[in-house]
Amino acid sequence: MKLIFMGTPAFTLPVLEVLSTKHEIVAIYTRAPKPSGHGMKLTKSAVHEWGENHNIPVYTPATLKDELVQKQIADFSAEAIIVYAYAMMIPTAVLNCTPKGCINIHPSLLPRWRGAAPMVRTIQAGDKETGVSLMRLDEGWDTGPVFGQEKVTISSDETPETLRDKLNPLAEKMLMDLLDNFQEPIPQNKKGACYAPKVEKAEFLIDWTQSATQIERNIRSFGKCYFVLNSKRFKILKAKVLEGSGTVGTTIDDNLNVACGKGILDLEILQKEGKNPTSKRDFLLGTKVPKGTNLCATN
């Protein structure tokens, strides 16, 4: 089958690899190279490099609304477009330019967690399960009909990275099975629909009035959160929930255990600005945080 692939980050490569073993990838569309590193050198996406290494045409349009870009896509005469973390709106002309449409890999059990950050929000919300939905994109925001879904259990120490490792093999199998035995999708059940907005920088600042359980989920969801002490930011990379209470946002001892709206948060791995992550024990050797220290500052 002739396919177009639209995606950008490295975690999409296993799916692209599997697709290429049985089908012909006639073109790849990905985000344009971005400046990165100390030298701010333009860096191609992982998908971009993969395409070039496999002698597949790679395109990086700033928008798909351009009629010339739309004609280019249609001229490939592909059977379907596979979309995985492309992070660009796909206009109607592109949605409808292949016989089987745009097949999207979405990491949630739709209609729950439509939107930009489904894995982050499902962990943050404390969901017990999630999964993969294969859907046909329409003009809405993850509202299209669904080809199929598979579930996975969310563990108590789950992160978006570990969750992605669980979901990718499911996505690969589901997609290959669908392309082998194509069946039309069925409309989503609108009941229970909710949205997963993109993560904003303001969310990384800890709100100690939240429960210790919620803050610990936030840390795992975002990969880090931070508090401010003496006008400096200190990141928390890992924490543990303990029972107990105290003045909200204040350390209850000399061992970096902080009272929250409910429960105590034990700060296990921290990072000072400009330094490498370190254990709490090593952190306290260089930074004293005595009992009664208030960590509620915002700047």
More confident: 287 or 38: 287
Rounded Cα distance between 134 and 204, Å, is 31
For the chain, the domains span 2-196, 201-286
Q: Which residues of 33-48 are buried (b: 16+ CB within 10 A; e: fewer)?
A: eeeeeeeeeeebbbbb
Grade residue 36 by pLDDT with cuts at 50, 70 and 90: confident
**2-196 against 201-286: fold identical:** no
* CATH no., domain 201-286: 3.10.25.10
Q: How many CA atoms lie within 13 A of 272 on its CB side?
A: 13
Indicate the pLDDT class of residue 16, thresholds 50, 70 and 90: very high
**CA–CA gap between residue 160 and residue 166 (Å, rounded):** 10
pLDDT of 299 reads: 82
Q: What is the DSSP letter of 128?
A: S
Query: What size, in residues, is the chain?
Result: 299
Instruction: Give the torsion through C-alpha atoms of 63, 95, 98, 135, to 10 deg.
Output: 120
- Per-residue pLDDT, 39: 76
Amino acid at 185: P
CA 261/CA 273 separation, integer angstroms: 27
Q: Give tens-digit pLDDT for 74-95.
A: 999 999 999 999 989 999 999 9
Contact 4, 78 (CB under 8 A): yes
Angle at CA of residue 41, ends 35 and 46, nearest 5°: 70
CATH tag, 2-196 = 3.40.50.170
Q: Is the per-residue pLDDT at 294 higher than 90?
A: yes
- Dihedral pair phi/psi, residue 18, rounded to 5°: -65, -45
Mean pLDDT, the chain, rounded, equals: 96
Is there a contact between 237 and 270 (Cβ–Cβ < 8 Å)? yes
- Condensed to tens digits (0 to 9), the pLDDT of residues 231-289 reads 999 999 999 999 999 999 999 999 999 999 999 999 999 999 889 999 999 999 989 99
Tens digits of residue pLDDT in 124-157: 999 999 999 999 999 999 999 999 999 999 999 9
| Distances, alpha carbon 31 to alpha carbons 34, 60, 222, in Å | 8, 5, 23
Structure tokens at 103: 């097949």
User: What contacts 231, CB < 8 A, 6 or more positions away?
Assistant: 297, 299
Backbone phi, psi, residue 252, to 5°: -95, -5
Q: Does an H or E element contain 257, and which?
A: strand 257-259
* Interhelix angle 46-53/13-22, nearest 10 degrees: 30
Does the pLDDT value for residue 188 go beyond 80?
yes
CB atoms within 10 A of CB 208: 20
